[in-house]
Structure 1
Amino acid sequence: MKKLLFFTFLISALISCKNNETNIGKETAAETDRSIEQQIAEAHGLNNFAEVEEIQFTFNVKVEDSLRTSREWTWNPQTDEIRLTEGDISRTYTKTDNIAENDKDIDQKFINDSYWFLFPFQMVWSDAEISEEKTGVAPISKKEMNYLEVSYKGEGGYTPGDTYVVYYKDDYLLEEWIYKSADGQREMPTTWEDFEDFQGLKISKSHKSPDGSFELFFTDIEVK
């Protein structure tokens, strides 16, 4: 009887191990099936974005010691209603496929500012062309990292043809990037630093040029 019980236990254990191996295999396959850009977006909190009802942030640009730009945004992702405040002037519009002509200037500013704010998500949301993952030396830290080229080759949008080279390590959080203009006349590397978690969204609050003379940064961030 003892031998029978032991044999029965051994078979059960083997079946359990086999099931665990199968589940582990499925998890590994699922991980592999996710694209690199999807993993980058999820590392920055993409899976929490569906719960967001409102985002507020101020987009700032400082050159040397002079604050050149400061724009306050309030965005409801559920309705795509967007409010911009610059100085004493506030304007509101709703983002649709057909932007009214008199709203295109504010829409262009929002696209620029929100791309800096949530670019890892835009890698999944937009129709960008994504290169295969490569390794190379990052432009600012001079450390070897993984990188992708994110290109907008179509004729749509306000700046068609622009390319972004994003650098990241094994945690998939962006560390640096290079902006390349469509005409090839301009390249601008900046850091991705000062990350903070806002309701599950990991936001880089500061982007600096190699010599620190340029800084694009976000303040007054609130995620509801």
Structure 2
Amino acid sequence: MKKYLYLVLALIAVHACQQKPQLPDTLPFKVAKAYGIENFDQVNSIAYTWNVQRDSVNVVSRDWKWNVKDSTVYYSGPDTTFTYSLTADSLPKQDGAFINDKYWAMMPFQLAWDSGYTHEITENVPSPLKGTNSTKLTIIYNSGEPKSPGMGYTPGDAYDLYLDENHMILEWTFRRGNGAEGRTWTWENVNQFGPIKLAQDHMGPDGKRFIWLSNVKVE
């Protein structure tokens, strides 16, 4: 009986050690939770094609596969195809495109991963494009050297995220250098991919699709 009790206690201790750390109860983390950040440890890789409508005719596409567990990235674009390590001392120029495209794909998770920003909250704000009543979450990245921890490639920039009551992004505005004016796009066509959610379509003020994700696969 005593041995059985010790076994039960040991199993409880192991389970307690394996419990996920509790995330902060702030609005940026609530957004990350809405898209499944608490399940991200189940993700081994994320693959997608990032597409942008440059003009009425031309579409630029880039294929990515981020192997989360071993920190490698596969890239295929109009210029070349290769795989590189995110932990390498020297990163290829395409890493800037990877970061850019990852923010379009995974901005909700960046709110949990990034540390070099401040945030402001304004309630009952009409979203710029559709006028939907929303909570405006402004993310302002710290100024400093590019690629400093938690700051990405564009320090000092700001994002206004317009959220619904479930902390899902309706629209976002990008403001370079935290300037007064910016450009706004929608966040639409949210789908479940394995343990996480991703928005696949981003429409501009004209209602036309500007950026979209295709060939999405989460393993």
Length-normalised TM-score, structure 1: 0.79
1:121 is aligned to 109
Match of 1:112 among 60, 84, 100: 100
Provide the rounded CA distance (Å) in 2 between the counterparts of 1:53 and 1:153: 30
**1:39 is matched with which residue: 15, 30, 39?**
30
| Corresponding residue to 1:81 among 64, 72, 80 | 72
Structure 2 partner of 1:8: none
Shift of 1:48: 1.2
Instruction: Give yes or no for the alignment of 1:197 onto 2:192.
Output: yes
The whole-number CA distance in structure 1 between the counterparts of 2:92 and 2:80 is: 17
Between the two proteins, the alignment pairs up a number of residues equal to 191
Matches within 5 A, 1:1-224: 34-87=25-78, 89-96=80-87, 99-100=89-90, 103-135=91-123, 136-157=125-146, 158-182=153-177, 184=179, 187-213=182-208, 215-224=210-219
What is the CA distance between 1:132 and its match in structure 2?
Answer: 3.3
Runs of 4+ displaced beyond 6 Å = none
Identity of aligned residues (%): 28
C-alpha contact 1:130 1:150 (8 A) present in aligned 2? yes
Partners of 1:180 and 1:186 within 8 A in 2 = yes
Does the CA-based 8 Å contact 1:178-1:189 persist in structure 2?
A: yes
Say if 1:65 and 1:214 are closer, same or farther in 2 by CA, change over 3 A. Answer: same
Alignment TM-score, normalising by the size of structure 2:
0.81
Indicate the structure with greater helix content: 1
Q: Secondary structure at the match of 2:142?
A: coil
> In structure 2, what is the Cα distance between the partners aligned to 1:170 and 1:213?
25
Structure index of larger Rg: 1
In 1, the alpha carbon distance for the partners of 2:32 and 2:46 equals 17
What do you get for the CA RMSD once the two structures are aligned?
2.0
User: What is the one-letter code of the residue matched to 2:50?
Assistant: F
Question: Can you list the C-alpha shifts for 1:118-162, whole angstroms capped at 9, x where unaligned?
Answer: 000101111242323212121111122101111112313322211
- SS of the equivalent of 1:59 reads strand
SS of the residue 2:98 aligns to? helix
Check whether the contact 1:64–1:214 (CA below 8 A) recurs between aligned residues: no
CA contact (8 A) 2:203 2:209 kept: yes
The match for 2:15 is none
Gaps of 5+ in 2: 1-21, 147-152
Unaligned segments of structure 1, at least 5 residues: 1-29
- 1:120 match: secondary structure: helix
Tell me by how many angstroms 1:183 deviates.
6.9
Contact 1:147 1:165 in 2 (8 A): yes
